[in-house]
Amino acid sequence: MEELIFEWDDQKEKTNIKKHKIDFSTAAHVFGDDRRIEKFDGKHSEDEDRFKVIGAINGHLMVIVVSYTMRNDDKVIRLISARKAEKEERDEYYGYY
């Protein structure tokens, strides 16, 4: 399996930390969750295909949602935003739907 490569805009990360209290290097750990749920985000895909992933980091301590897009022939994951999952998203992740 190839190692995942992440990138992000540093200014966008600072904004995300202010707004959601999650830095992107922490958020990237969601891709290590074998139970993560990945979905196409058609609502935000006008200029490029975007995706959302719902998953846990730190051993289920925090379920988060990360928005991202793929770059360089799908070899680089560009993080766009990260936030704590809302109730419906947590319910979906834990199978309470």
Domain boundaries, the chain: 5-94
Full pLDDT tens readout for the chain, 97 residues: 468 899 999 999 999 999 999 999 999 999 999 889 999 888 877 888 889 999 998 766 578 888 888 888 888 999 999 999 999 999 999 997 5
Buried b (16+ CB within 10 A) or exposed e, 47-82: eeebbbbbbbbeeeebbbbbbbbeeeeeeebbbbbb
pLDDT of residue 69: 83
pTM as predicted: 0.85
| CATH number, domain 5-94 | 3.10.450.530
pLDDT of residue 37: 93
